[in-house]
């Protein structure tokens, strides 16, 4: 067994528990110690739930001693993005307006992780209300990329990605509205999976874009992502968008054959201005897939160029509606001294929301306003239909689509102050959200500066099993899976 508990994947760690080589309490203390030592520089966490973690680890110790662990997550130290409601734990969404909010209930995914025996280390940093691609828009502090602390970890799930990359958690949950799991996974050199829309319950998720948001895992390898997905997937009667589809044993299916799979390579995803090192790494990964017996062919997704614009009308429109509830009346921040109710709303929202959230609320409200709804929001929804039809046509010929996750590697803090330049980071991840399809990012190389590059797999709806199987086969054949940032 590896001597350092922090080097172990979730699967290796829980196997070690079963063999009696270590305990959940020992692993939890190792992680808490590393968080105390390093998170001041990384900024992955907004809150650390040390006493809760120790109690959960002690309960897991007892189950292993009795020979009755709950499964492959029992005793695994994990982290949660801070927009998943967690009973008794502050859930801020990275915003001043919810700085003091403590939910009285658990999100379904939190309850399912608890039922699986996972140990919650804390809540991770994020762009405010998940609106951002760099985790620079948190109201509390930025998160830094463990590969280079001067660079961003991506966003909006940057805290979760950085925590996994820096060995500050064995695994984590994030959310993906336009790429917010996959883009930080690519920037931080970890695996990130956005499941099919409806595969995982959204109950207890503080919504950004209700038709786009999906909860998924960030992990060190594909096997751990499969284990985490298996724990949280499945129908939930509390969520009307949750779908009654059978849940596979994702981890058990990872060793299946991939020879003969048909993979499409969309020409539109190799965009003008792409970092040459990203294109080289992805092209090399496609060659490796061919060496595994996977057949590749070029496919066309012609409306890709319009997906970004459609998303930045649909998502802000939904955000405008979802964030209307934060008015200082029921919960969260209330600014005193208002003359009347309208003044209280204005003061509270002005003080409680950051610049990026205000920008998107204004954009979304305008798109939904009388006289503009059909010209903007309605037209964007029609483009969304065209994007979906492109993928449907491609999937009549191929089993999976493979492409870069991002057009560039992690950029420096403060480098992309122009909102449009920031939004372009999502150009290659957004189509999977508009269509609801499952998509995964896996590390596929390093840039000349030593920064991670991500390879994106996109699958058919509810076919996460094939997505994970192909990604695991690539991961096993590639030399990148053991690379970790040297953060001490």
> What is the 3-state secondary structure of the chain?
CCCCHHHCCHHHHHHHHHCCCCCHHHHHHHHHHHHHHHHHHHCCEEEECHHHHHHHHHHHHHHHHCCCCCCCCCCCEEEEECCECECCECCCCCCHHHCCCCCCCCCHHHHHHHHCCCEEEEEECCCHHHCCCCCCCCCCCCCCECCECCECCCCCCHHHHHHHHCCCCCEEEEEECCCCCHHHHHHHCCEEEECCCCCECCCCECCCCCCCCEEEEEECCHHHHHHHHHHHECCCCCCCCCCCCCCCCCCCCCCCCCCCCEEEEEHHHCCCCCCHHHHHHHHHHHHHHHHCCCEEEEECCCCHHHHHHHHHHHHHHHHHHHHHHCCCCCCCCCCCCCCCHHHHHHHHHHHHCCHHHHHHHHHHHHHHCCCCCHHHHHHHHHHHHHHHHHHHHHCCCCCEEEEECCCCCCCECCCCCCHHHHHHHHCCCHHHHHHCCCEEEEEEEECCCCCEEEEEEEECCCCHHHHHHHHHHHHHHCCCCCCCCCCC
Beta strand 400-404 with 262-266 is: parallel
180 is catalytic: yes
- Bond prior to 297 in cis (omega within 30° of 0): no
Which one from 156, 157, 201, 248 is the annotated catalytic residue? 156
* Annotated catalytic residue, options 133, 134, 180, 248: 180
| Nearest C-alpha neighbor of 300 from the set 272, 274, 267 | 267
Which residue is catalytic, options 47, 81, 194, 447? 81
Burial class (CB in 10 A: 0-12, 13-18, 19+), 269: buried
Instruction: Give catalytic residues, as residue numbers.
Output: 81, 156, 180
């Amino acid at each position: 067994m590896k001597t350092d508990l922090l080097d172990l994947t979730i699967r290796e760690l829980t196997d070690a528990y079963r063999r009696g080589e270590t305990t959940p309490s020992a692993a939890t203390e190792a992680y808490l110690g590393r968080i105390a030592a390093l998170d001041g520089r990384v900024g992955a966490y907004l809150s650390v739930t040390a006493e809760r973690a120790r109690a959960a680890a002690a309960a897991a110790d007892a189950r292993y001693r009795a020979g009755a662990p709950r499964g492959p997550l029992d005793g695994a130290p994990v982290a949660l993005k801070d927009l998943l409601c967690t009973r008794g734990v502050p859930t801020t969404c990275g915003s001043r307006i919810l700085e003091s909010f403590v939910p009285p209930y658990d999100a379904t995914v939190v309850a399912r992780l608890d039922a699986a025996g996972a140990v919650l280390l804390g809540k991770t940093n994020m762009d405010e209300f998940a609106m951002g691609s760099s985790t620079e828009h948190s109201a509390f502090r930025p998160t830094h990329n463990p590969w280079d602390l001067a660079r961003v970890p991506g966003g909006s799930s940057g805290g979760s990605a950085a925590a996994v990359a820096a060995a500050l958690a064995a695994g984590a949950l994030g959310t993906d509205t336009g790429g917010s799991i996959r883009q930080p996974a690519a920037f931080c050199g970890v695996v990130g999976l956005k499941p099919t829309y409806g595969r995982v319950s959204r109950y207890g998720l503080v919504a950004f874009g209700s038709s786009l948001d999906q909860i998924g895992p960030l992990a060190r390898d594909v096997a751990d992502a499969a284990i985490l997905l298996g724990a949280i997937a499945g129908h939930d009667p509390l969520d009307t968008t949750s779908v009654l589809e059978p849940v596979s044993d994702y981890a058990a299916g990872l060793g299946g054959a991939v020879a003969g799979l048909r993979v499409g390579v969309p020409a539109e995803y190799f965009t003008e201005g792409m970092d040459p090192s990203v294109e080289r790494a992805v092209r090399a990964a496609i060659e490796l897939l061919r060496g595994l017996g996977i057949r590749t062919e070029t496919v066309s997704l012609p409306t890709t160029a319009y997906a970004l614009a459609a998303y930045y009308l649909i998502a802000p429109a939904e955000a405008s509606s979802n964030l209307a509830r934060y008015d200082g009346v029921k919960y969260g921040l209330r600014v005193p001294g208002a003359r009347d109710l309208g003044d209280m709303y204005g003061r509270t929202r002005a003080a409680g929301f950051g610049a990026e959230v205000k920008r998107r609320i204004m954009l979304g409200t305008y798109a939904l306003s009388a006289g503009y709804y059909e010209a903007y929001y309605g037209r964007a929804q029609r483009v969304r239909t065209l994007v979906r039809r492109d993928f449907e046509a491609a999937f009549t010929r191929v089993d999976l689509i493979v492409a870069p996750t991002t057009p560039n590697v992690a950029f420096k803090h403060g480098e992309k102050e122009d909102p449009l330049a920031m939004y372009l980071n999502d150009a290659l991840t957004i189509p999977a959200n508009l269509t609801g399809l499952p998509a995964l990012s896996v590390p596929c190389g390093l840039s000349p500066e030593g920064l991670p590059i991500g390879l994106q797999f996109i699958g058919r709806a509810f076919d996460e099993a094939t997505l994970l199987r192909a990604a695991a086969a690539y991961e096993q054949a590639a030399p990148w899976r053991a690379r970790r940032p040297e953060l001490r």
